[in-house]
Amino acid sequence: MVEKLRAIAPDFDIVTEKHPPDDLLAHAEVVAGHLTPERFGIAKALRWNQLWTAGADADLPPRAVDSDVVLTTSAGNGAVPLAEHALLLMMMLNRDVPRWMAAQAARRWDRFRHGELAGSTVGIVGMGKAGRDLAVKCRAFHMRVLGLRNHQERSADGVDRMFGPADMTEFAALCDFLVVAAPLTETTRGIIGESVFAVMKPTAFVVNISRGEIVDDAAMLAAVTGGRIAGAGLDAHSEEPLPEDSPWWSLPNVVVTPHNGATTPETVVRAIDIFAENVARYATGRRLLNVVDKKAGYAPG
């Protein structure tokens, strides 16, 4: 990567340090990677901070929000595997794959009637790159696709109907699968809560591939254990790593994965490509990709 960056921006001094010393950080104009609030304060010459993550929720202390430093993310680097992971969780829940795995472990021939995705309705909360990729994939599975986004007027390929945040309960009531793909912001924190679960079908599932804090954990646990919804597929959790005593581990109608949906080699490659493109843009004075709206808390796209 370093040689690629030097070829793109030959006039830049490029230094690779996992934990750069304070004197180096104090003179850095560009930093790729997470900066704690304390480290951000040391970086007095900083003009641009590129994140290796798609979300910016961990990188917006007040000092960063109020500064002139441009913050960019790697949004889109994990969109493809996250959409695939959402489909995986949907199919595991729909066909009760844990039941098959238990039967395999017990060497038991256990045939039963299960569902199919075709003809069911998926609602995607958050129409960023992962949400849009999932919409197209779900359409290929012959599903009805609903989307929910801040700017309801903006359509997306594969989406049959778009909703706005004010329509959350109407949207949720229509879903057989409600997939959380939105960024974590002060607006989205806890938006999937008791009022949402109260209107969902008892046969419906929640799938979270984004951030655990977007879903009210206590409300979801009550809905899952009380039969108000059929179950959940969770790749994102309000506490990570998920504690050993968490009830989510042992519920028969819940599939847990360890925030692992986008950990592919290709995700890393795409993040590097996004950074390299941004270095080229920065060196020539062009607008950067994935610029975070620091008030909104994410990079619109």
Q: Which residues are catalytic?
A: 211, 240, 259
Query: Exposed, middle or buried: residue 43 (CB in 10 Å: 0-12, 13-18, 19+)?
Result: buried
Dist. CA 223–CA 197, nearest whole Å: 6
DSSP state of 76: T
Give 53's DSSP letter. Answer: S
Distance CA 235, CA 205 (A): 14
**CA distances (Å), origin 208, targets 121, 126, 131, 232, 288:** 16, 11, 12, 8, 29
CB 44 within 8 A of CB 26: yes
Tokens linked to 54:
């798609």
Cβ contact 198:219 at 8 Å: no
What single DSSP character describes residue 141? T
**Rg, C-alpha atoms of the chain:** 21
Cβ 186 vs Cβ 294: under 8 Å: no
